[in-house]
Structure 1
């Protein structure tokens, strides 16, 4: 109640004593906000032009906002009363604040906003300033004011000139500047003779679009900034092409404000390959999946199904392998459908992301246990015809089991990022929908090649030895392989249950969390950066880890004083890691990259690491020694 009375008394005093604030209202503070002080001054000494200065002082740890606050906050505004003037409000160059993955643009400590009245000024400027100030909490405060414009003392001219010196210029920083839009992001390209020191970029609001924190890369005199874009609901990005955008680019104390038309941004570098090359990569990537360790259990299943055929004949074997090919192709088409739905609903895209789902892992574990138990002779499947489309019919002539063998082979292959596969999938997920479906079909055809060869030449399968006791031994061996796969799948549930999955082999490398800021900080200190994006469900990641990253010489190289080791764990869904991979044209793990003074743009390593590739690229990243 006392607060209401004080506010009422304060407003009455404003109306009762307007003359006491003739040209300077003095510093105002609100009883509801003791973290900010404001002052408004008006001057008519500049050749009949009326100028205003709005001063804001903030306590330590508090901030207010630019005209485009970013993902949170409210810009300062004035609601004029009585005879409303037409005022041009100038905005000093802001700073950026990042709190809890939210980026905002504004000011701290103190800021002065210069203004110019474009028409005949009123005898008295009256209104209410609304100011948003934030620290751990945010306050929206109103400051009623009334000020009469007069000839101010000389200090006003000095203060006004100083305030205008903080306003970005229209030219003077860049020789060329352009902005384009592509799926989910803006791309700003700039050229500055003499290079860049510590550039920053601030973006004005565009209707129906919110911008994330810019990621800036500099190579010599060229700068490229990529800015995440989503709609006001935090979902998909609207089409910004053809719209106008105002941005402020700052470097080494020089700020330039430009208004540009948003054009078409070039596709990520991964899409620079001709389509025929990408199709060839998809075919080869799919073929190589058959050689990856994640597919071996399913190849064992297929071999077991051939051995258990009662009377081997060419026609039957051809039908079985064609059914498996159908399972592979249908599975790849199902993945293409899933990726299409995810893209249309603006969700994260990636190769193997189904292994981030505990339900998917649980179902796959159960299926592998059932097949393992069957191979150990604990029971056999002899299902009625109405259920032949569910699981394999061991010992019968149904084709459903062979179809599902192909499907399981595909599903178990997705944790692996084989050579050529990453590039093909990255292009598919950023290309048009017809191209996406075509490339996933090429992946399926590539993986189907060995199966098609047997279908075309059944004699290859007929060359297997005659049935005998060795078949029981092989059957138990296949059962062990299946059981091992089931146990491996079960371990993937541990992160979802809150259990640690750290390796039993203790690494001596001090891995730091992966972030763009960590990369920038290391490069600013002329350090090298080794990046490892991995996941517990990624078999290729495990191969790289045990065969390369945990070797003594590699561990020693990663412990050098000028090397920063960053690791991103994609075992569970992570928007930050998805965005990190997307910016580099990647959609699969493992992903390894090295930065340094000699490699400021970073160099991606092969999917299957070698010690020589890691060690040599680390040497290249050092650059020329002084």
Structure 2
């Protein structure tokens, strides 16, 4: 829908524009699809994802400070992407001076980079409505006047959203107080989400001072033209456009899941004026024909045109738009609903937007009687192409080398397999192999059950992780592989679980159904498949700090795709992760490679307990890097207290005192909840200084700055960038084995490399966007830039080798070092 032309009628009337009088909209919108049933499934899916999202503690804690600019002037920029501001905002006033008691237009002009958009009052299937918060003490501010939105398609066409691209002015009428004098100060906070292939939340604070004089003076023509253009795009009431509108439903009631039809009749020229020019529908695609103003329990989506409505007069002309309505809930009274939305119109002298806000009527038996044809679609509107709004250059730097979905699934499977050899997952896999030896005398069917239970635990955890990723991304949060380890609360919770599990391996207590111990449930015995399910979940939790060959490409492809692609790739990784243990339980011949049970098993079990405690030490160190030494000390005290409570529980269990053991278990669980809620697990402020920092590897690292990379190359220096995190074991292995090698340091010094470290230990949207640019969703990645700006940088593999790293540095150095 393009911008409307200025209409040559009623210019002196104040427009009755669509305004902010509706309740505040939620951050996600459900239900505008061409298929009612699909809409219902989407609503259920998104609701489930929302619930799963809240299972991640403080997942939005980092969003509390998104860098709102101070009220320093009338202009501001935000939504940083690749070092560039994608959204600029300016506070405009339709006067250079105002008089007390006058009405004046004020507004915020948003200017967006090509391909980016912000959201309308109803954002649609995703996103968040743009908000303006005015702070003017000596004036009354009217509601926001929303120009008609454009329609955009996100996530490969799966989501339809409503908003604005290029530029838009969101204006309001302000009435200056009768007591105003001196200077009229205006302040406004803008809160928005800007999206292209990624979404970035932004907040800009603007201010302006306007002199108060005896008489208002007009601003420059450019300012007035801006306000007039915005006014020309406002949806108008039927009275304004001289049309008569009516909405009729095919049914008077609907049960949840039912599909009904609503026909919207728009009739022009009812006064039989010979000079009247009738309005027609101006939409190329179905989702442009009717844009719902609010989300209701009826999912509305236009289908096409029906038979023209009955003309009330000889000269009247009109059209009938059929809208599909899907009931998300029981709706016993369709005729008590209102149809609210925007319909684009056109005629010979210009375009306009019709603001629809009318009751839906229903006459019994009309659907099957003479009026049944009114709901028949005789000219269907086409669905938009899936890539209709894909901006130029939206592809990541993977470019033509980006894998297909099938290849990404294969890479995910291989990456999941290799993860089993990484130090993150190896202890859990060893525990599972130990478990097979322990089940040597069990029936084969029981062993197979353990294999599938482990697979189910892995896949359920991967599905949960994928759902949280989709929810966070839809809410405008940049996430990547291992993102949950950026949350200290999550780290503390995992440490707690690992301490308890290690105490079990040490034999301090047993999860048993024996009379000597408390019943913890019919499915949690040491030989129960439920334990394998839990260990599958644990494997996923511990796997995310690691990466492996093939895994980075697969995960990067997933995070750049739709929600369905994320789920598919995560499931393939899960299958690969669970495959070794599953195959050992399924293939009889493989079991012979497992050692026979014996006394050695007790020693191996205890050794595995120490491996889990080593993981606790590492996670506590990662948490301490984020929250500081004092908070880390409290976390360690919390873990010691947990171990002590588990010891008391085990003592009561061994003494055959089940009631005491149950009381201790309940108390320990309550302590865990209260303690985790009380610990000061808030990330400490990060040092944003660009100065170099000392490093154990002997390299002088500069804090990552995308714009500084270009400056260093322009100065004739090649650049090496290390994307890392404290919780990334693969990163630490690369640093220990390769980057700390003296030969690497010498090569960096020989060619005068500028070295940048992008530390992703804590959430950093700028780093996440840079990772996405290179088709990755997690660390590590390593980039080597030649000094020659005309040459492309080289992306090194996730697992570094000394020879390959040295060769890449030499090639970049010879291309133009100093």
Interval of TM-score (by shorter of Structure 1 and Structure 2): 0.5 to 0.7
User: 2:120 matched to which residue of 1?
Assistant: none
- Indicate conservation of the 8 Å contact 1:71/1:211, yes or no: no
2-structure distance, mates of 1:533, 1:445? 28
What is the CA distance between 1:624 and its match in structure 2? 4.3
What do residues 503-529 of structure 1 show as CA deviations (whole Å, max 9, x unaligned)? 998332110000111111111112111
Say whether residues 1:268 and 2:396 are aligned partners. Answer: yes
Say whether residues 1:446 and 2:576 are aligned partners. Answer: yes
2-structure distance, mates of 1:625, 1:399? 60
- Secondary structure at 2:792's aligned position in 1? strand
1-structure distance, mates of 2:449, 2:612? 24
Question: TM-score scaled to structure 2, two decimals?
Answer: 0.46
- Secondary structure at 2:756's aligned position in 1? strand
- Indicate conservation of the 8 Å contact 2:488/2:627, yes or no: no
Across the aligned residues of Structure 1 and Structure 2, the Cα RMSD in angstroms comes to 4.1
1-structure distance, mates of 2:197, 2:608? 50
What is the CA distance between 1:79 and its match in structure 2? 4.2
User: 1:371 matched to which residue of 2?
Assistant: 501
- Secondary structure at 1:494's aligned position in 2? helix
* 1:180-191 equivalences in 2 (<5 Å): none
What do residues 207-244 of structure 1 show as CA deviations (whole Å, max 9, x unaligned)? 68999999xxxxxxxxxxx998657768xxxxxx999x
- Indicate conservation of the 8 Å contact 2:193/2:202, yes or no: no
- Indicate conservation of the 8 Å contact 1:182/1:264, yes or no: no
What is the CA distance between 1:285 and its match in structure 2? 1.1
Say whether residues 1:205 and 2:167 are aligned partners. Answer: yes
- Indicate conservation of the 8 Å contact 1:348/1:578, yes or no: yes
- Indicate conservation of the 8 Å contact 1:329/1:445, yes or no: yes
1-structure distance, mates of 2:743, 2:695? 16
What do residues 481-518 of structure 1 show as CA deviations (whole Å, max 9, x unaligned)? 122122212212102322499x9983321100001111
Larger strand proportion of the pair: 1
Say whether residues 1:577 and 2:577 are aligned partners. Answer: no
- Indicate conservation of the 8 Å contact 1:530/1:565, yes or no: yes
- Secondary structure at 1:592's aligned position in 2? strand
What do residues 77-121 of structure 1 show as CA deviations (whole Å, max 9, x unaligned)? 754999xxxxxxxxxxx9x9xxxxxxxxxxxxxxxxxxxxxxxxx
What is the CA distance between 1:294 and its match in structure 2? 0.7
Give the 3 Å change call, closer, same or farther, for CA 429–348 of structure 1 in structure 2: same
What do residues 409-440 of structure 1 show as CA deviations (whole Å, max 9, x unaligned)? 11111111111111111111121222222121
Choose the corresponding residue for 1:509, options 666, 683, 699.
Answer: 699
- Indicate conservation of the 8 Å contact 1:270/1:427, yes or no: no
Question: TM-score scaled to structure 1, two decimals?
Answer: 0.59
- Indicate conservation of the 8 Å contact 1:318/1:456, yes or no: yes
Give the 3 Å change call, closer, same or farther, for CA 325–231 of structure 1 in structure 2: closer
- Secondary structure at 2:425's aligned position in 1? helix
Give the 3 Å change call, closer, same or farther, for CA 359–551 of structure 1 in structure 2: same
Unmatched runs of 5 consecutive residues or more in structure 2: 1-71, 79-84, 100-110, 114-151, 157-164, 171-189, 205-284, 289-387, 633-692
- Indicate conservation of the 8 Å contact 1:369/1:482, yes or no: yes
User: 2:756 matched to which residue of 1?
Assistant: 566
- Indicate conservation of the 8 Å contact 1:212/1:227, yes or no: no
Choose the corresponding residue for 1:521, options 686, 704, 711.
Answer: 711
What do residues 161-198 of structure 1 show as CA deviations (whole Å, max 9, x unaligned)? xxxxxxxxxxxxxxxxxxx99779xxxxxxxxxxxxxx
What do residues 595-624 of structure 1 show as CA deviations (whole Å, max 9, x unaligned)? 123574321110001112221111221354
Say whether residues 1:329 and 2:463 are aligned partners. Answer: no
How many pairs align? Answer: 417
- Indicate conservation of the 8 Å contact 2:76/2:90, yes or no: no
User: 1:622 matched to which residue of 2?
Assistant: 813
User: 2:796 matched to which residue of 1?
Assistant: 605
What do residues 126-156 of structure 1 show as CA deviations (whole Å, max 9, x unaligned)? xxxxxxxxxxxxxxxxxxxxxxxxxxxxxxx
* Higher RCO (C-alpha under 8 Å, 6+ residues apart): 2
1-structure distance, mates of 2:511, 2:557? 42
